[in-house]
Amino acid sequence: MQRDTEIFNLIQKERERQTKGIELIASENFVSDQVMEAMGSVMTNKYAEGYPGKRYYGGCQVVDQSETIAIERAKKLYGAEWANVQPHSGAQANMAVFMACMKAGDTFMGMDLNHGGHLSHGSPVNFSGLMFHAISYEVKEETGTVDYDMMETRAMEGKPKIIIGGGSAYSRDWDWKRMREIADKCGALLMGDISHPSGLIAKGHLENAVKYCHIVTTTTHKTLRGPRGGMILLGKDFDNPWGKTTPKGEIKKMSALLDSAVFPGTQGGPLEHVIAAKAVALGEALTDDYDRYIVQVMKNAKMMSQAFMDKGYKVISGGTDNHLMLIDLRPKFPEMTGKEAENALVAADITVNKNMVPFDSRSAFKTSGLRVGTPAITTRGLKEDDMKGIVDMIDTVLCDPTEATIAKIRKQVNDMMIDRPLFAW
Ligand SMILES: Cc1ncc(COP(=O)(O)O)c(C=O)c1O
């Protein structure tokens, strides 16, 4: 068969883009060679609807083994009692939880998207907001930290079936214990979406949501550094978190409800090549090497947020406990939108994403903020000493986003990154 040069040339271009740039998108990372190899393997050819030992197709004896290894490694890594590794993405994992625990029209509560929540936590353009009734909590304007008192008041008023902790642009640790108290008080299930700080939690550097939540969801491709995908985990309330009976009046195990909400509820055949790659990434995450990586991610983020503040930028909440920070551009550049800042930086091969900041005066298309994270640059070997230099380059571009300045910084960026290979092959 003729080689598809049209696509492979684009793959080569994307590889060059990734190699020469500084990647600061907080939700991105670079997988290892063996994670990549597993994803591009013959496992992609296999249909395996169902679960290990209970499939709707023959020939699943090998994928049964790799899916079981992925499940066991996930349980070990997070201290969970049960795991489902089939969700195709983080949003799919969340959808499965909603389908298992609510009926259409039921109320749930998540963090307001404009305050750092995720689309799948109740945005009106997402299934979560379209099919269910979403109420939300916010951060406090003075501190930029979650307003747990507001969460409690609104939960007692709205009586949600699920309360979701976790978000996409929140730089502080979550008070899972307090949220569990609130959930118990109003009769809700507590769901932790730890997609972002997943790797930090797995290695014990942030409070473990699995200890307090009824259900935990995560993506596998952010700090965890695996293939794109999702997982669902259950901790101590594993069997029947409702007590004697489910909302439907029957005694049913949560694990069975979640399994059938993933398949056949919301997905068909699992991506067994991705599940094999998840197993590889989970195996890597169990090592001390990965722990050293995560510690470095956190050190880099702290150093970078300090460097931004030293240059007069407003970092929401005054710093970070995790791998990301949210910058409000308005105090330093009142006229510049997040979109303009993102475009100027991308032209200099520094990739960031525009982001709403809490109490933003601009729309989601323009925004007043930037979200910046250190997982990807840490994978490429950058250390604390490099952070100030990166912030200097960002500041130079934003202070003077002219073509000449952008070209000068782009050269510095490319010189810095070119000797840091991404792949061994
Ligand atoms: C908190 C959170 N949940 C869910 C998701 C959705 O993950 P995916 O893009 O894999 O659907 C994201 C992705 O950014 C996220 O940040």
Note whether residue 4 is domain-resident.
Answer: no
Q: How far apart are the first and last CA of the chain?
A: 23
DSSP three-state, residue 361: coil
Dist. CA 51–CA 54, nearest whole Å: 5
Write out the H or E segment, with its range, that includes residue 110.
strand 107-111
So what's the pLDDT on residue 250? 76
CA-CA-CA-CA dihedral for 211, 217, 219, 225, to nearest 10: 20
Helices of type H across 31-104: 33-39, 61-78, 90-101
pLDDT in tens, the chain (425 residues): 899 999 999 999 999 999 999 999 999 999 999 999 999 999 999 999 999 999 999 999 999 999 999 999 999 999 999 999 999 999 999 999 999 999 999 999 999 999 999 999 999 999 999 999 999 999 999 999 999 999 999 999 999 999 999 999 999 999 999 999 999 999 999 999 999 999 999 999 999 999 999 999 999 999 999 999 999 999 988 888 887 777 677 777 999 999 999 999 999 999 999 999 999 999 999 999 999 999 999 999 999 999 999 999 999 999 999 999 999 999 999 999 999 999 999 999 999 999 999 999 999 999 999 999 999 999 999 999 999 999 999 999 999 999 999 999 999 999 999 889 787 54
List all residues 6 or more positions away from 204 whose beta carbon is below 8 Å from its beta carbon.
none
Torsion over CA: 142, 146, 149, 150 (sign): positive
Note whether residue 10 is domain-resident.
Answer: no
* Active-site hit among 154, 222, 278, 339: 222
Do residues 129 and 164 touch, judged by C-beta distance below 8 A?
no
Dist. CA 312–CA 94, nearest whole Å: 38
Note whether residue 1 is domain-resident.
Answer: no
So what's the pLDDT on residue 99? 97
Note whether residue 11 is domain-resident.
Answer: no
pTM above threshold 0.95: yes
47 is catalytic: yes
Note whether residue 204 is domain-resident.
Answer: yes
| Same domain flag for 167 and 91 | yes
Note whether residue 19 is domain-resident.
Answer: no
CATH (domain of 261): 3.40.640.10
Tokens of 225: 């550094």
Dist. CA 178–CA 380, nearest whole Å: 37
> Which residue, chain included where needed, has tokens 């009824």?
214
Please compute, for residue 62, the number of CA atoms within 13 A of its CA located in the half-sphere on the CB side. Answer: 10
DSSP string, 173-227: ---HHHHHHHHHHHTPEEEEE-TTTHHHHHTTSS--HHHH-SEEEEESSSTT--S
**Cα–Cα nearest to 207, from 184, 174, 235, 234:** 174
CATH (domain of 391): 3.90.1150.10
| Same domain flag for 274 and 300 | no
So what's the pLDDT on residue 246? 72
Do residues 201 and 292 touch, judged by C-beta distance below 8 A?
no
Tokens of 296: 């470095």
| Same domain flag for 269 and 254 | yes
Read off the pLDDT of residues 17-50 as tens digits, 9 standing for 90 and up.
999 999 999 999 999 999 999 999 999 999 999 9
228 is catalytic: yes
| Same domain flag for 295 and 274 | no
266 is catalytic: no
Note whether residue 110 is domain-resident.
Answer: yes
Dist. CA 156–CA 33, nearest whole Å: 49
Is 222 touching ligand 1 by the criterion CB < 6 Å? no
Of 258, 285, 312, which residue sits at a domain end? 285
Q: What are phi and psi of 79, to 5 degrees?
A: 65, 40
Helices then strands, counting H and E runs in the chain, come out as: 16, 15
Q: What are phi and psi of 243, to 5 degrees?
A: 95, -125
Nearest alpha carbon, ligand 1 atom 7? 90
So what's the pLDDT on residue 424? 58
Dist. CA 328–CA 423, nearest whole Å: 35
Dist. CA 170–CA 184, nearest whole Å: 24
Which residues span the domain enclosing 61? 34-285
So what's the pLDDT on residue 265? 97
DSSP string, 318-342: GS-SSSEEEEE-TTT-TT--HHHHH
Torsion over CA: 223, 225, 229, 233 (sign): negative
List all residues 6 or more positions away from 375 whose beta carbon is below 8 Å from its beta carbon.
26, 28, 29, 199, 222, 223, 225, 297, 323
**Cα–Cα nearest to 30, from 227, 197, 324:** 227
| Closest-lying ligand 1 atom to the alpha carbon of residue 89 | 10
Of the residues 120, 201, 213, which should be mutated to test ligand 1's pocket, given the most ligand atoms within 8 Å of the CB?
A: 120
So what's the pLDDT on residue 64? 98
| Same domain flag for 395 and 264 | no
Of 285, 307, 326, which residue sits at a domain end? 285
So what's the pLDDT on residue 242? 83
293 is catalytic: no
Note whether residue 425 is domain-resident.
Answer: no
| Same domain flag for 221 and 307 | no
| Same domain flag for 246 and 305 | no
So what's the pLDDT on residue 365? 93
| Same domain flag for 297 and 370 | yes
Tokens of 100: 């298992």
| Same domain flag for 244 and 169 | yes
How many Å lie between the centroid of ligand 1 and the Cα of residue 97? 14
Of the residues 219, 224, 324, which should be mutated to test ligand 1's pocket, given the most ligand atoms within 8 Å of the CB?
A: 219
Is 90 touching ligand 1 by the criterion CB < 6 Å? yes
> Which residue, chain included where needed, has tokens 């769901």?
191
Tally of structural domains, the chain: 2
Dist. CA 269–CA 50, nearest whole Å: 8
So what's the pLDDT on residue 132? 98
So what's the pLDDT on residue 13? 97
Read off the pLDDT of residues 376-412 as tens digits, 9 standing for 90 and up.
999 999 999 999 999 999 999 999 999 999 999 999 9
Of 285, 312, 328, which residue sits at a domain end? 285
Do residues 95 and 68 touch, judged by C-beta distance below 8 A?
no
Nearest alpha carbon, ligand 1 atom 5? 90
| Same domain flag for 321 and 406 | yes
| Same domain flag for 263 and 314 | no
Tokens of 236: 């101590």
177 is catalytic: no
| Same domain flag for 226 and 83 | yes
